Amino acid sequence: MAKKRKGDGHAGGHGWFVTFADLMALLVAFFVMLVASSTQDQARLQMVAGSMRDAFGVQDKVRYSGVIEVMGLPTRPKLKNAAHVPPEEASNTPTPDEHERNRSYGAKLKEDRQFALASASLRQALQDMPELTEISKHVMIEETRQGLNVEIVDQDGRSMFPEGSKDPYERTRRIIQKLAGPLKQTPLRLSITGHSSATKVRPNAGYGAWNLSADRANSVRQVLEEEGVPPSHFFMVAGKADTQPLFPDDPYIAANRRVTITLMREDPPLPPNFRP
């Protein structure tokens, strides 16, 4: 009987070393995958996922659902709400409804460009004030359904108006003067509204939050007009007291005290020859 020589069980050397090397290779691959996943481009990953779902026929949604854009779905140029018109009924002359839609759409594009230009000009004006960098953080610019809002907001420990006064601080006046440049260049009309925060202190007799908020809004109007904003640009100056807090969940915080300058979104004017 032949004797089994020592070492015949592993012809390729130490078997445990081969298994250990495979395990190390798997761990290295695992950590490489973790690093790659931690630095991924989320937007591109969503687009790839959406493209894959669309390609394999499992996509049950379009990218745009109403006014909400669904992330991760590819964008494709598609005609929406397009009615089939037989060739014999086609015409080069637009119908009155189509002409009105085109006019409204063109007016909206023009208005959107005006808002974008005004917003960029206002932000640039604030950036051009390095000496008032901290104060310029009190100004918030936001586009809403009513128009483009420029909010001059109080913050804890630093207000834009003295307590109970309608006249702004000098630093606040300088910001308003800087904003006047872009505001007088835009054809959009301005609405200025003063707001106050809720208070547990009993208001002064004969001069409360309504009076103070209206007077502060009018003070802002006066500064803008002194800097060259035409009087015809002003549509409304009003005080809202504490009826429209910026933070409804906490009506007492300082940020609710503000003056809002709104570049108004208005319907296009009717043509001179318009007949209903």
Contact 138, 153 (CB under 8 A): yes
**What does the pLDDT look like over 114-155, one tens digit per residue?**
777 777 877 787 777 766 667 767 888 888 888 889 999 988
Residue 129: DSSP 8-state? -
**What does the pLDDT look like over 61-120, one tens digit per residue?**
544 444 344 444 444 444 444 556 566 565 555 555 544 554 444 445 566 677 777 778
Residue 167: DSSP 8-state? S
For the domain spanning 111-264, the CATH number is 3.30.1330.60
Residue 217 pLDDT exceeds 70: yes
Grouping H, G, I as helix, E, B as strand and the rest as coil, residue 49 is helix
At 221, list the tokens: 């109007």
Grouping H, G, I as helix, E, B as strand and the rest as coil, residue 108 is helix
The domains of the chain are located at 17-69, 111-264
The reply to whether the predicted model has a pTM over 0.85 is no
Residue 245: DSSP 8-state? -
Q: Identify the CA nearest to 187 among candidates 84, 275, 118.
A: 118
d(C-alpha 178, C-alpha 167), whole Å: 17
* Pairing of β 258-264 and β 190-195: antiparallel
